[in-house]
């Protein structure tokens, strides 16, 4: 049995909130866990947004029971959430599951470079709210005979694929970040933190906040720079 010792109750609560949001969008959600040193990375893919979500947490120590290999396993998000003891700041790693296709194609761990063109946090939050309002308005105005899944998907693709500011990042990446609790108003940042940042590595774009990240692959690059882990 592998037990993860989180740094404190706050880390455990934030991880629990992230897992609960994943399960809200997919009751059978899977998560891929990777531990390197005292950093836990949790990957998920909410189906409604078509982006990869990443939440990291600080650990007191990587493992109990003297394991010395790096942890890398795909598990049930629901079972991981059930195993979390927020008061003790621990989580027991559930049995591995057969991962969905996305779990084998993760962004690279290194090589990230800062990208220009991303507006400030408040402007991004406003853009997401505007896009949500537009989607609701346009879909509600459709006559009943045109309110089909295909038409709703068409409107959604048009809205969520728009670039944010002068960047290549699609609105859906920020929409997912908002839904997952990553676009909260900035807390007091340390010198190493930023309220919002956009980074690229190969075909990947990553929207990073102090609370988590969302990552998408740039369009038009085919299968280039896929990182299989």
Tell me the pLDDT tens digit for each residue of 176-216: 999 999 998 755 554 456 789 999 999 999 999 999 999 99
d(CA 212, CA 95): 25
Q: Which domains does the chain have, with CATH numbers?
A: 3-106 (3.10.150), 113-228 (no CATH)
The secondary element (H helix, E strand) that includes residue 155 is: helix 149-160
The Cβ-side half-sphere exposure at 184, using a 13 Å CA radius, reads 10
Is pTM, for the whole model, over 0.75?
yes
Helix and strand element counts for the chain (H, E): 5, 12
For 85-141, write each residue's pLDDT tens digit: 999 999 999 999 998 999 988 998 889 999 999 999 999 999 999 999 999 999 999
With a cut of 50, say whether residue 221 has pLDDT above it: no
Residue 225 pLDDT class (50, 70, 90 cuts): very low
For 153-176, write each residue's pLDDT tens digit: 999 999 999 999 999 999 999 999
């Amino acid at each position: 049995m592998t037990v993860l010792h989180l740094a404190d109750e706050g880390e455990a609560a934030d991880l629990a909130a992230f897992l609960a949001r994943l399960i809200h969008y997919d009751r059978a959600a899977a998560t891929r866990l990777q531990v390197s040193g005292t950093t836990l990375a949790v990957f998920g893919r909410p189906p409604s947004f078509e982006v990869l979500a990443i939440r990291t947490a600080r650990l007191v120590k990587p493992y109990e029971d003297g394991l010395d290999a790096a942890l890398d396993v795909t598990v049930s998000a629901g079972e991981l959430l059930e195993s979390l003891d927020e008061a003790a700041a621990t989580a027991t790693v559930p049995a591995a599951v057969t991962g969905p296709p996305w779990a084998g194609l993760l962004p690279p761990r290194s090589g990230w470079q800062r990208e220009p063109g991303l507006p400030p946090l408040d402007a991004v939050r406003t853009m997401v709210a505007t896009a949500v309002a537009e989607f609701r308005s346009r879909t509600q105005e459709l006559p009943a005979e045109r309110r089909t899944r295909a038409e709703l998907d068409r409107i959604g693709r048009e809205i969520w694929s728009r670039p944010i500011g002068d960047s290549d990042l699609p609105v859906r990446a920020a929409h997912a970040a908002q839904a997952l609790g990553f676009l909260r108003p900035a807390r007091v940042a340390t010198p190493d933190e930023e309220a919002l940042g956009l980074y690229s590595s190969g075909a990947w774009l990553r929207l990073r906040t102090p609370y988590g990240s969302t990552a998408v692959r740039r369009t038009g690059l085919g299968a280039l720079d896929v990182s299989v882990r």
